[in-house]
Amino acid sequence: MITQTTKRWLLLGSLLLLTLWLVWNTPEVDSNALIVKPMVRAADANKSANTNHSLKYEDDLQLAQRLPFEGKAIDLFGTGIKQQTARKPVKVKPIVKPLPKRVIAPALPFKYIGKLIEGDVVKIFLLKGEALHIVSEGDTVDKHYQLKHVGEQQLSWLYLPLNITQKMSIGQTP
């Protein structure tokens, strides 16, 4: 059975042999080439004998005489601003920069589900979309939020990219 690689090698080999055969059988260059001159009619031969063709072609290639310029000169590469001899002082208005806008962190993307208290450790259950996160104080969620403090009625979050603290209300403990 012939495989694909074998078929490829056979094709490449046959193309190589064809190329070599074409190179080997190229016709030789004929060094005894003939220069053929066009036939000239007798009437044309008499005209060409009387006139000098080189002068005729030179006349055709010469540029026509330019007419003298009678208009106003235009500066093609100028800026388009007319130069004034005495410049008037220009009043410059100071640039007033607007006050920087107060940077606000985006709303917290979590929903509070509940908390579990085991001794001194408090674990908070949060839902973000369909993902459930179980975090304790100091844990980082989604590389953007860090739980700083767990209180009785609220959670304190730090939004890491802007270093802004946010609060989340969780209600009272039963």
Chain segment 15-61, per-residue pLDDT in tens? 999 999 999 988 776 666 666 666 666 655 555 555 554 445 555 66
Spatial contact of 125 and 113, defined as CB atoms under 8 Å apart: yes
Q: Is residue 144 part of a domain?
A: yes
Distance CA 72, CA 80 (A): 15
Structure tokens at 57: 């072609």
Chain segment 27-40, per-residue pLDDT in tens? 776 666 666 666 66
- What is the chain's mean pLDDT, rounded? 80
Distance CA 106, CA 155 (A): 16
Q: Is residue 141 part of a domain?
A: yes
- φ, ψ (nearest 5 deg) of residue 22: -65, -35
Which range marks the domain in which residue 161 is found? 111-169
- φ, ψ (nearest 5 deg) of residue 46: -65, -40
Distance CA 137, CA 41 (A): 111
Q: Is residue 128 part of a domain?
A: yes
Q: What confidence score (pLDDT) does residue 4 get?
A: 93
